[in-house]
Amino acid sequence: MNSSVMVHAAHGQFEATLVGAPEVRATAPTRAEALAALETALEKRVEQGELVTLEIGRKGLAGLFGKYRDDPTLQDICDEAYKERDADVQEGRRSTRTS
């Protein structure tokens, strides 16, 4: 498991903080020790519970993006719309040449 961690010097020591969870932190005399202590703290937290990924559903228009991408009816509608568009473009070119 990979986690993003912010490491910085603070009061003559190093502090490692889990990005997105500032309460998960460790302080030690060296950078390596701070990272090791944070890793230990994370391992303890994971042992106490279950680490999962949660997907939040999109609302409004964003919820429609990609919803119909595999719908064959939509492809038929798009094909017809493109066909009509192309015919209109060709008609426009012919009328421009005759004007």
55 lies in some domain: no
Residue 99: what pLDDT? 61
Summarize pLDDT for 50-92 with one digit per residue, the tens.
Answer: 777 788 777 777 777 777 778 888 888 989 999 999 998 888 7
26 lies in some domain: yes
Q: How many domains does the chain have?
A: 2
CA distances in angstroms from 77 to 54, 56, 61, listed in the order given: 35, 30, 20
17 lies in some domain: yes
Residue 56: what pLDDT? 79
53 lies in some domain: no
Is residue 31 within 8 Å of 7, Cβ to Cβ?
yes
Residue 3: what pLDDT? 84
* Segments forming the whole domain that contains residue 41: 5-48
| 44 and 65 both lie in a single domain | no
| 37 and 67 both lie in a single domain | no
| 43 and 9 both lie in a single domain | yes
Residue 53: what pLDDT? 79
Summarize pLDDT for 9-55 with one digit per residue, the tens.
Answer: 999 999 999 998 888 999 999 999 999 999 999 998 888 887 777 88
Residue 36: exposure state from Cβ atoms within 10 A (0-12, 13-18, ≥19): middle
| 66 and 41 both lie in a single domain | no
32 lies in some domain: yes
> Which tokens in the block code for residue 61?
């228009």
| 65 and 86 both lie in a single domain | yes
